[in-house]
Amino acid sequence: MARVKIKFPDDKPLYHCTIPVRIGDINYGGHAGNDSLLSIIHEARVQMLAHWGWTELDAGGNSLIMADVMIAYRGEAFYGEVLHVTLFADEVTTQSFDLLYKITTSKDGQPREILHAKTGMVCFDYQTRKIAGMEHQLRERLNNATA
């Protein structure tokens, strides 16, 4: 079976944050569940926007909506671990962009990959319920920001 593969840019991360694994993130297998990890990438995206003074409803003059998500699970995350989330931008167009997420943690001083993910984000006008063009401020941030 073919596996999902996400290629990360060599440089220019947009943002980096840490998010602890909470007890509510743990499933019956004793590790963070897939639904919790999706929630964690959403949290990282919202934290990045807040760091820039934005929200998903006003990101540099644009509202955003998620069009798709792709997740490749690379390892288990356990209660109490601190996840290091690094975000990158890719495929920036006139109306959309991809956010790439690399999540790692460490055990006994050694880094461990937990997850690679991509969300396809689209500029969206919630009043007309239609795709919108990307404003200059958002495009500049995606193309030039570094963590």
Q: For residue 1, is it within any domain?
A: no
Split at pLDDT 50, 70, 90, the class of 147 is very low
Q: For residue 131, is it within any domain?
A: yes
Q: Provide the 8-state DSSP code for 81.
A: P
In which domain, by residue range, is 93 found?
15-144
What are residue 16's DSSP bridge partners?
86
Q: What angle do CA 22, 9, 40 make, to 5 degrees?
A: 15
**Among candidates 139, 41, 17, which has minimal Cα distance to 99?**
41
Q: For residue 91, is it within any domain?
A: yes
- For the purposes of burial, counting CB atoms within 10 Å of the CB of 7, is it exposed (0-12), middle (13-18) or buried (19 or more)? exposed
Whether 103 and 40 have beta carbons less than 8 Å apart is answered as: yes
Element (H, E) at 40: helix 34-51
Determine the average pLDDT of the residues in 73-89. Answer: 96
Q: For residue 113, is it within any domain?
A: yes
Neighbours of 46 (CB within 10 A): 13
Q: For residue 3, is it within any domain?
A: no
* Number of domains observed in the structure of the chain: 1
Determine the average pLDDT of the residues in 113-142. Answer: 96
Tell me the pTM: 0.93
* pLDDT tens per residue, range 10-19: 778 999 999 9
